[in-house]
Structure 1
């Protein structure tokens, strides 16, 4: 195999793993959560395309970029360095920054589901399964489990985070299409808006990838998530 072919094969593998993790077909249950969006719609804060766009962009910039994506940025490196003490500390941080029971149950369920996905893949998921098992995360949260899967590929941290952020955006747009409801055309415009915001959000996440720069402070999301637990009619688990 030539050097050029080897480089191309490695690059392709990293890209394909990133696309795989971002796919809505990944059986981790992300489609069943709206992360407060359903209650924001019910409260009239995100009742149309413009309102949903503003809500989701805020969640991307103020929530994902400063919290989960920032954790993932550091966690990918920790997994690749086999720094299990750091992995456990990051997982502990995630568990202790979920502000409602729904948000905590979501990150736990999706983390466990990714481990089950790796186990179901057999030899193709062995590296992920072995790493998560060795770390002894109880339970593995979604950011740490997703970072573990991303770390097994050749993609850069930035590429991995862009893929995971896109997966989040696609799930949120699908939630909006069902809950507002919006048409497919509006949904695609929403996704285009979020795609335009993702690179800057990922750059901020990487810059915040240390304990003293991360934060989990989204009070309106916490309030709406708590309200969702007793919302009269709902489609989603959060």
Structure 2
């Protein structure tokens, strides 16, 4: 087995100190307004984000970063709202600081997908593999948000995550052959939900 796969799994594990559990990516808003209320609507919501929103954009940013491109400012410019930018920057900062501490590297702070891509340059893994695990961690965190906040049972949450596996593999495979010009987002409902979350009166999650 390639030991670099274990390294990447560790980086993207819920145990890695990124604070991912505190971010709902706007999901708190759509659960609050009833647009997401069960396993099916949660799975559909996350699938759209993976295919048409942050998942698609992050996948290309990550692949381009692995290939040596400097994508940090592009990632910041593409953030659809203040909270989205904060979410990506905060997790990226936590990731870089922890990896630097572990390895002695001196990587600079960057939005999360870029930070992972830069760190993954030193791994002997194909970009598609890195993106697949990155998107799985992203989807898993959103499923966890749904399990806690809708709420869903753990079994329903895991069924939903399993149903997203083909979508994750599809997006990762596409990103491995795409370029900067393929970067676009059309998950407008998710973007609007993230903007609305900024002024929500009662909030459990940071985004």
CA distance in 2, matches of 1:183, 1:29: 22
TM-score, normalization by structure 1? 0.82
| Residue in 2 that maps onto 1:6 | none
1:230 to 190, 199, 204: 199
Alignment of 1:108-119 (within 5 A): 108-119=89-100
Once superposed, which parts of structure 1, at least 4 consecutive aligned residues long, lie more than 3 Å away?
none
| Residue in 2 that maps onto 1:67 | 57
| Residue in 1 that maps onto 2:7 | 17
Gaps of 5+ in 2: none
How many aligned positions are there?
Answer: 207
Contact 1:21 1:164 in 2 (8 A): no
2:87 to 89, 106, 110: 106
RMSD between aligned residues: 1.4
1:221 to 190, 199, 203: 190
Higher helix share: 1
CA distance in 2, matches of 1:66, 1:74: 13
CA distance in 1, matches of 2:79, 2:34: 24
Contact 2:60 2:180 in 1 (8 A): no
TM-score, normalization by structure 2? 0.94
Deviation at 1:201, TM superposition (A): 1.1
Deviations along 1:153-212, one digit per CA (max 9) or x if unpaired, are 11111111111111111111111111101110111101111123211111122232x221
SS in structure 2 of the partner of residue 216 of structure 1:
coil
Considering only CA atoms, is the larger Rg found in Structure 1 or Structure 2? 1
CA distance in 2, matches of 1:107, 1:216: 16
Gaps of 5+ in 1: 1-10, 79-85, 134-138
